[in-house]
């Protein structure tokens, strides 16, 4: 399986062109002088300048980041707990319901999740704002975190925990000193996933936000409903840039770590 | 004790913020069409008891849904759009996943990253990117006019075609990844064995590769079909007034018409429809997991 | 090791370090350990030997505290340990996978258990250094587990579990992951360390050679039961059942019926047209009782001519020869079809061997060479 046929080459080329050309066009036209997004009128960074002046966007961005940081952090704690319970909890009353509630939000249409949470918040008289968005985001992203973490826990060598207990750790110490450091990469990627999901979410945020708190996706959505604008292109470009740098850095770091590990192992084998 | 806390905290959180809201949706879907403000009648009253509560409930909203053509059509057209776009995504995604699985080892990590990268970028931005391409004076029309294939601009934006393109584009990674995972595990010597036993390349692909990648195809198809069924952003940005999708209807029922009981009834039915593919998907995954053991 | 001096199990007054009293362990409907009683003494190197699924690992995990006992009690130094959680037991375990903490250096791994005891810094450092020296790991103290070889990892695991100076060290297939050559060297190293630290070792293994080499006593297990508990030589020379005889080493089993000849000697009728065999036995057999005569191949002499004055003689022809270098095993087919294995040292070059395939040969052994077993 390593000789690419012309058909394979064409599929890859067209496939990645399809995936990337729209974004590349979007980025290019964020530097367009003209207000018309489809006609090139020369290079300019003025839309970035205007974006920086736009109070509403800046406020929304700030709210979004706040929501994302809080919700992803709480979701990581809850999701890790849930993963631990699912993988290690053994039997307990309502286990099936519990695992159902972990997996259901992953396939639930966002409109339904958003609607139901909104009805809850109104029902208990909670004012809609940053808090309600954080609660909503935490709820659905903790499920993603728990899926990521539990897939790591499943392959975790249990004898490591037993060794820690055997050497005198209490169960909590064994988790803190042994399990957590080892599953840390999964927990971190769970956090990153939760953070991105929160940054990204339009539908649930639309239902659960109030006039006092508007997130960036809500702002973008209401702007793009009116059509394409160079300012949104500039904003999109910034967001794409952040994500790209993040993802590439993360994959380089992890690639380096695996390479290093492999080299160390080979060196150890040679020495022996 | 510690174990109890460990279980109780996420459990209670999910009960309060996932299960209870659904019960509320369900309850409201059975309430009278009192517009927009709580308390949604009838309210549960411990004094009057459960019997009285039940007596007040009715299926008025559900009956309303069956009477109005709009909802029927929206469910049907959501299912149709989800089905067609899932199939298109499979057609586009399979060759890419196949080529990735055949690529040299040292490329795979990079190719993988290239597939995942769009997944991390904002969904909204990815849909938005197509608005500039598909509009009447957009890049696609400019390009086609320039090549001389067409003489007048095509209307693509605000039609179902645009919705299909948007869905294929945004959900492509969900299709590629499970198929790639299945193909990557496929033992190359199986194809060689098939060819050795007299299959042509194409026949070997049809008789060996496709059946062995079936779990990936099924998983990918469900991963696209299920969320597309309730999709809201794509039809509302790329679709037109003729694009009927239930997610959009629900949104409008709620935000524009402010008819909460009907919106809730729409949600309940959508959920019931979704149970079928979700159960099938779950079963496929379970069978996969068992086969691997 | 001088077993004639160190034999607390023969002293009725000796107090066992560990005693299993009628221990039963069930997992659901499956009985892993069936009403088992066993004493293990201080400073012993005790091996639990058996095929996978025989319950040996369950025994070890019950000692470590990872499994609870369904019925019966386990005592450590006279105290019932049922209620003591694993982290409070003066028992440490060396895991089959070694279970080294991948995020900690060799030094930190060894210090891990000591830190839990809040040992003062200086004592802790001294103890870790001592352990590093004992296991010859000084050079690797700063490395992470993935930066050292399999053999070194095994020693780190040993050092880590010994660091807390446990009363009892449990070793779960400690050499299973090493290749054969390294395993043999490490066996002796383990014995040295056991002797120099004076710790009681309980080792679980499915490798009979390993058990025979390292252990002061071996317990052969099968399906949750102890088949025999004895020193390696007794297990080999005087197995108490066909199962044990067959499990340890190579053996010929001849089924027959006993007739008492003299006090302690029996005649075994085993096949039509074959002379009865003579065998001695310490256990008594009644007349016409079904028995199994177990004879090790190396106790059977193979000759081209009929030997004089042998207690037992049978004739056959060489069916197959397995050449092992120093030894050869001859598969000799008797006239009634029975196959008997005989082993002979290759003291002469192959070309000068006096018999080969299809040659008629004589097999002989003394009355004391075999063991008569009832079942």
Which residues of chain B carry a pLDDT beneath 70?
1, 32-58, 293
Per-residue pLDDT tens for C4-21? 568 888 888 888 999 999
Residues B251 and B253: their CA atoms lie apart, in Å, by: 6
pLDDT of residue B293: 66
Question: Averaged over C107-122, what is the pLDDT?
Answer: 93
pLDDT digits (tens, 9 = 90+) for B42-100: 454 444 445 555 555 667 777 777 777 788 888 999 999 999 999 999 999 999 999 99
A202·B230 Cβ contact <8 A: no
pLDDT at C31 over 70: yes
C-alpha separations of A82 from A145, A196, B123, B282 in Å = 9, 20, 27, 20
Q: What's the pLDDT at B163?
A: 95
CB pair distance less than 8 Å for A22 and B188 = no
- Phi, psi dihedrals of residue B282, rounded to the nearest 5°: -55, -45
Whether domain C8-246 has CATH 1.10.340.70: no
Residues in chain A: 272
Distance from C-alpha of C188 to C-alpha of C179, rounded to nearest angstrom: 15
Work out the average pLDDT over C269-287: 86
pTM, full prediction: 0.85
- Interval C74-84 mean pLDDT: 90
pLDDT per position as a tens digit, A11-24: 999 999 999 999 99
Distance from CA of C95 to the nearest CA of A (A): 7
State how far residue C25 is from chain A, nearest Cα, in angstroms. Answer: 19
Of B111, B76, B78, the residue nearest B97 (C-alpha)? B111
pLDDT tens profile C164-180: 999 999 999 998 888 88
Could you tell me the maximum CA-CA distance found in chain B, to the nearest angstrom?
79
Per-residue model confidence as pLDDT tens digits over C338-355:
899 999 888 877 666 777
Judged against a pLDDT cut of 80, whether residue C89 lies above it is answered with: yes
Nearest chain A residue to B265, by CA: A112
The pLDDT, as a whole number, for residue B199 is: 86
Joined tokens for residue A222: 């209401």
Q: Which residues of chain A have pLDDT under 70?
A: 1-2, 37, 272
The answer to whether B233 contacts A117, with C-beta atoms less than 8 Å apart, is no
C217 vs chain A: nearest CA distance in angstroms?
Answer: 25
**Domains plus CATH for chain A?**
58-228 (1.10.3720.10)
Radius of gyration of chain A (CA): 23
Q: Which of A8, A85, A116 sits opposite B22 (nearest CB)?
A: A116
Chains A and C are touching, with contact defined as 3 or more CB–CB pairs separated by less than 8 Å = yes
Indicate yes or no: CB of A166 within 8 angstroms of CB of C87.
Answer: yes
The per-residue pLDDT for C171 is 94
For residue B57, the model assigns a pLDDT of: 62
Q: Which of A81, A225, A240 sits opposite B121 (nearest CB)?
A: A240
Ranges in chain C annotated CATH 3.40.50.300: 8-246
| pLDDT for res B51 | 53
For chain C, which residues lie within 8 Å of any Cβ of chain A, measuring from their own Cβ? 64-66, 85-88, 91-93, 95-97, 99, 101-103, 112-113, 116-117, 143-144, 146-152, 160-161, 164
Q: Are B273 and B35 in contact (CB under 8 A)?
A: no
pLDDT for the residue numbered A33: 87
> CA-CA-CA-CA torsion for C303, C308, C313, C315, nearest 10 degrees?
50
Per-residue model confidence (pLDDT) at position C106: 96
| DSSP secondary structure code for residue C102 in this structure | T
Which of helix, strand or coil describes residue A237?
Answer: helix
What pLDDT score was predicted for residue A123? Answer: 85
Which domains, ranges and CATH numbers included, belong to chain B? 69-292 (1.10.3720.10)
- Chain A residues within an 8 Å CB radius of C92: 166-167
Predicted pLDDT at B41: 47
The predicted-structure confidence for C46-74, as pLDDT tens digits, reads as follows 999 999 889 999 999 999 999 999 999 99
Residues 6+ apart with CB under 8 A from C343: C250, C296, C297, C298, C300, C327, C328, C329, C330
Residue C333: which pLDDT band, with cuts at 50, 70 and 90? very high
DSSP codes of every residue in A56-100: HHHHHHHHHHHHHHHHHHHHHHHHHHHHHHHHH--S-TTHHHHHH
């Amino acid at each position: 399986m390593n000789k690419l046929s012309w058909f394979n080459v064409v599929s890859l080329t067209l496939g990645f062109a399809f995936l990337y050309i729209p974004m590349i066009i979007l980025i290019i036209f964020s530097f367009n002088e003209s207000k018309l997004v489809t006609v090139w009128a020369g290079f300019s960074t003025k839309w970035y300048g205007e974006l920086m002046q736009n109070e509403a966007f800046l406020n929304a961005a700030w709210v979004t980041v706040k929501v994302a940081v809080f919700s992803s952090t709480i979701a990581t704690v809850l999701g890790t707990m849930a993963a631990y319970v699912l993988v290690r909890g053994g039997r307990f009353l309502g286990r099936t319901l519990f695992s159902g509630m972990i997996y259901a939000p992953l396939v639930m249409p966002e409109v339904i999740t958003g609607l139901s949470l909104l009805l809850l918040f109104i029902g208990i008289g909670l004012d809609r704002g940053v808090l309600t968005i954080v609660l909503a985001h935490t709820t659905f992203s903790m499920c993603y975190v728990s899926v990521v973490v539990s897939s790591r826990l499943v392959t975790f060598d249990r004898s490591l925990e037993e060794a820690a207990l055997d050497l005198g750790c209490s169960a909590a110490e064994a988790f803190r000193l042994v399990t957590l450091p080892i599953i840390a990469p999964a927990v971190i990627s769970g956090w990153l996933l939760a953070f991105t999901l929160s940054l990204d979410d339009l539908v649930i945020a639309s239902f659960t936000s109030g006039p006092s708190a508007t997130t960036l996706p809500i702002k973008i959505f209401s702007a793009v409903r009116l059509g394409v604008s160079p300012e949104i292109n500039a904003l999109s470009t910034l967001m794409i840039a952040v994500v790209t740098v993040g993802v590439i850095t993360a994959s380089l770091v992890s690639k380096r770590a695996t390479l290093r590990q492999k080299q160390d192992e080979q060196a150890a084998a040679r020495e022996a | 004790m510690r174990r109890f806390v460990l279980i109780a905290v996420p459990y209670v959180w999910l009960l309060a913020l996932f299960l209870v809201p659904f019960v509320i949706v369900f309850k409201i879907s059975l309430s009278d069409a009192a517009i927009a403000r709580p308390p949604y009648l009838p309210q549960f009253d411990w004094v009057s008891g459960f019997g009285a509560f039940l007596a007040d409930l009715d299926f008025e909203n559900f009956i309303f849904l069956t009477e109005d053509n709009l909802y029927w059509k929206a469910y049907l057209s959501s299912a149709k759009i989800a089905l067609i776009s899932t199939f298109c995504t499979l057609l586009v995604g399979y060759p890419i996943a196949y080529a990735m699985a055949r690529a040299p080892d040292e490329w795979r990590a990079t190719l993988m990253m290239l597939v995942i990268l769009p997944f991390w970028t904002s969904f909204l931005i990815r849909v938005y990117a197509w608005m500039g391409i598909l509009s009447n004076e957009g890049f696609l029309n400019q390009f086609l006019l320039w090549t001389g294939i067409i003489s007048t601009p095509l209307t693509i934006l605000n039609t179902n075609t645009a919705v299909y393109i948007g869905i294929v584009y945004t959900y492509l990674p969900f299709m590629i990844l499970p198929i790639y995972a299945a193909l990557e595990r496929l033992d190359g010597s199986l194809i060689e064995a098939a060819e050795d036993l007299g299959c042509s390349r194409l026949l070997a692909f049809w008789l060996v590769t496709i059946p062995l990648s079936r779990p990936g195809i099924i998983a990918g198809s469900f991963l696209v079909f299920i969320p597309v069924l309730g999709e809201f952003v794509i039809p509302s940005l790329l679709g037109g007034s003729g694009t009927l999708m239930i997610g959009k209807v629900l949104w409008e029922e709620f935000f524009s018409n402010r008819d909460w009981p009907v919106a809730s009834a729409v949600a309940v039915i959508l959920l019931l429809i979704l149970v079928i593919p979700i159960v099938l998907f779950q079963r496929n995954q379970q069978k996969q997991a068992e086969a691997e053991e | 090791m001088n077993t004639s001096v160190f034999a607390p199990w023969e002293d009725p007054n000796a107090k066992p370090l560990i005693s299993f009293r009628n221990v039963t362990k069930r997992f659901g409907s499956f009985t892993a350990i069936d009403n088992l009683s066993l004493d293990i003494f201080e400073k012993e190197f005790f091996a639990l030997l058996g095929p996978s699924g025989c319950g040996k690992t369950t025994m070890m995990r019950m000692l470590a505290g990872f499994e609870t006992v369904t019925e019966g009690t386990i005592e450590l130094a006279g105290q019932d340990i049922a209620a003591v959680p694993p982290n409070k037991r003066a028992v440490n375990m060396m895991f089959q996978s070694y279970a080294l903490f991948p995020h900690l250096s060799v030094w930190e791994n060894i210090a891990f258990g000591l830190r839990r005891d809040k040992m003062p810094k200086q004592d802790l450092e001294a103890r870790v250094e001592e352990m590093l020296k004992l296991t010859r790991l000084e050079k690797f103290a700063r490395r992470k587990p993935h930066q050292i070889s399999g053999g070194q990892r095994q020693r780190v695991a040993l050092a880590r579990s010994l660091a807390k100076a446990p009363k009892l060290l449990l070793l779960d297939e400690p050499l299973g992951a090493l290749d054969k050559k390294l395993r043999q060297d490490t066996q002796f190293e383990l014995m040295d360390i056991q002797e120099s630290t004076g710790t009681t070792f309980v080792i679980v293994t499915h490798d009979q050679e390993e058990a025979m080499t390292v252990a002061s006593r071996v317990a052969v297990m099968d399906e949750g039961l102890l088949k025999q508990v004895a020193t390696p030589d007794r297990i080999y020379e005087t197995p108490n059942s066909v199962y044990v005889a067959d499990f340890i080493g190579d053996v010929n089993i001849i089924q027959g019926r006993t007739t008492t000849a003299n006090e302690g000697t029996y005649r075994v009728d085993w096949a039509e047209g074959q002379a009865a065999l003579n065998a001695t036995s310490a256990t008594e057999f009644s007349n016409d009782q079904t028995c199994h005569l177990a004879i090790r191949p190396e106790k059977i002499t193979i000759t081209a001519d009929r030997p004089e004055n042998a207690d037992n003689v049978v004739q056959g022809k060489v069916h197959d020869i397995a050449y092992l270098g120093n030894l050869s095993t001859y598969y000799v087919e008797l006239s009634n079809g029975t196959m008997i294995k005989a082993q002979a040292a290759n003291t002469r070059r192959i070309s000068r061997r006096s018999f080969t395939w299809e040659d008629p040969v004589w097999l002989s052994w003394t009355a004391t060479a075999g063991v008569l077993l009832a079942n």
